[in-house]
Amino acid sequence: MDTAPPLVEMTGITKRYGGVLACDAVDLTVRGGEVHALLGENGAGKSTLMKVLSGDVSDHTGQITVEGHPIQFAKPADAQHAGIAMIHQELDLVPGLSVAENLHLGREPRTRLGIVDRRAMSERTRELLRRTGIDLDPNRPVGELRVGEQQLVTIARALSLDAKVLIMDEPTSALSTAEVERLFGVIGELRRNGTGIVYISHRMDEIGQVADRATVLRNGRKVAEFDAQEMTAEEAAEAMVGRTVQTRFQSRTVDLGEELLRVRGFAVRPKRTRVGRREPDGIDLTVRGGEIVGLCGLLGAGRTELLESLYGAGPSGTWEGEVTLDGQPVRPAGPRRALRSGIAFVPEDRRSSGLVLGHSVTANTVLSTLDRLGVAGMVRRRSELGATQRSVEQLKVKLGRISDPVGTLSGGNQQKVVFGRMLLTEPRLLLLDDPTRGVDIGAKAEIYQLLSEIAGRGIGVLLASSELPELVGVCHRVVVLRAGRSVAEFDTAHAGEADLLAAAMGERTGGDRNGNPPGPAVGTGQSTGGGAN
């Protein structure tokens, strides 16, 4: 691989945002048929460096050569014409347009009369989706798709460009295990065709599977380069953060409280069926005080829909079955009522559902508790700032000022702001939908520590995650969903990733590997499953 001629060479790339040095004389080489991993904490300079390469940032110093020819990109179209395409972590699709229209936006095939050839566009879309491993209607609006499906559509769109160099920024962050394997198959196909790939990921287990080399950035500088096949997670983490980081989960024994949430035979019959949603259709689970219960399932299993329903953010319709909180029947008519009942929710897509990006960190932190911070409808500024400052300090949010727009923060720090807002509501039950999606290894460790502290306060946690190691390591029990139904339950003290995956895929219908049947965990108040480090 090292003897292959470079497709792209970036030399001395430097970019400032005001007084912040985002990239400091960074060098990066990408060769044909190579997967080059780019690692670093949120805010390390990875995204800025890739925006330079993809033409999103043009006012930088340093040189870029493509196949030996120096080139300057003024806009993304210039990079695309040079054969460089990027799959962004934050989805950049148009919700109101169809899958086919998003895949061909600005490049629509046309007939001899100059009108859009929708038949050709639909056929091409089906082929691209097939390569990506998904079966979607090309005419379906993108806004109706789940986040994971939208992620796959962006990957298919990038494939349509037939790029020489493809930048993948957290491409698996919203994908199930099966979908990740399909993506790795696509990457293998691209490598065989000589495509160079820059692969950005916070999932250390993926790097050894897919990458040849790994470059680590810290504070805008290149600090290390590894052979990805020989690099350990500990080595990478230490280079990323500049100190020793605990990369593995640690088990602990927890004294659990009384039953907090009980769900039995829960189903939702919406007034209007929404294509692509898998509403609860027979869910059984419990959560005790201080317990972290995981939700596992393949893409489309209904994890997000269950959490949204319990939070009152799902579609209106008829509820069936039993849902109680502290022994009292509960059915939130909306998020505001859920918060009053003691139920808080951290959504999967923080940027579109969890934050108002143009507003300040302060505004986003206190958004759900304004009624508590005011008198006679007037919010007290001192209380507002004090609550925000305490939250920022408690969660170790890295920022300039609390008056800065929350959209200027890194992904991990944005996620902490959402956590902070929900914790200010003093919940009894915290619903989390893929809370570490797109978050770096250092921020993940801090979130896991936060979950441990939350559970220690007696708060119940229902955690949906697409990462099996996270579920096994963090949760005391895991409930597996398939097609909107709970099909298995495991005590993580006796079950592993293979057990969860087998149940999610339908190869097994329940119980743990010690032979215990599905159902409430056996015990008298103690769980020895994984605990957040």
Question: What is the reported pLDDT for 397?
Answer: 87
Residue with tokens 């996620």: 415
Q: Which two tokens stand for residue 442?
A: 């250092």
For residue 382, name the pLDDT band (cuts at 50, 70, 90): confident
What 3-state DSSP class applies to 382? helix
d(CA 261, CA 431): 11
Tell me which long-range contacts 375-384 makes (C-beta under 8 A, separation of at least 24).
none
d(CA 304, CA 234): 32
Question: What is the reported pLDDT for 3?
Answer: 62
7-38: pLDDT as tens digits: 999 999 999 887 778 999 999 999 999 999 99
Cβ contacts of 234 within 8 Å, gap of 6 or more: 244, 245, 247
Question: What is the reported pLDDT for 1?
Answer: 52
Residue 320 contacts residue 280 (beta carbons within 8 Å): no
Lowest mean pLDDT among 11-25, 59-73, 270-284, 336-350: 270-284
Lowest mean pLDDT among 118-132, 297-311, 321-335, 348-362: 348-362
CATH architecture of 250-342+427-531: 3-Layer(aba) Sandwich (3.40)
CATH assignment of 6-241?
A: 3.40.50.300
Q: Give, to the nearest 10 degrees, the angle between helix 147-159 and helix 177-192.
A: 10
pLDDT at position 524 over 90: no
Tell me which long-range contacts 387-395 makes (C-beta under 8 A, separation of at least 24).
387/424, 388/361, 388/362, 388/420, 391/365, 391/417, 391/420, 391/421, 391/423, 391/424, 392/361, 392/365, 392/420, 394/420, 395/419, 395/420, 395/446, 395/450
Question: What is the reported pLDDT for 513?
Answer: 31
The domain spans of the chain are 6-241, 250-342+427-531, 355-413
pLDDT at position 199 over 50: yes
For residue 246, name the pLDDT band (cuts at 50, 70, 90): low
Looking at per-residue pLDDT, the higher value among 427 and 189 belongs to: 427
384-432: pLDDT as tens digits: 888 899 999 888 888 888 999 988 887 778 888 999 999 999 999 999 9
Residue 39 contacts residue 207 (beta carbons within 8 Å): yes
Please give the DSSP secondary-structure letter assigned to residue 521: P
Question: What is the reported pLDDT for 481?
Answer: 95
Please give the DSSP secondary-structure letter assigned to residue 410: -
Q: Which two tokens stand for residue 119?
A: 């038949």
User: How many residues belong to the chain?
Assistant: 533
The pLDDT mean for the chain works out to: 85
Domains 6-241 and 250-342+427-531 share a fold: yes
Question: What is the reported pLDDT for 101?
Answer: 94
Q: Give, to the nearest 10 degrees, the angle between helix 411-424 and helix 441-456.
A: 10
Q: How many CB atoms lie within 10 A of CB 74?
A: 10
Lowest mean pLDDT among 146-155, 314-323, 422-431, 451-460: 146-155
For residue 470, name the pLDDT band (cuts at 50, 70, 90): confident
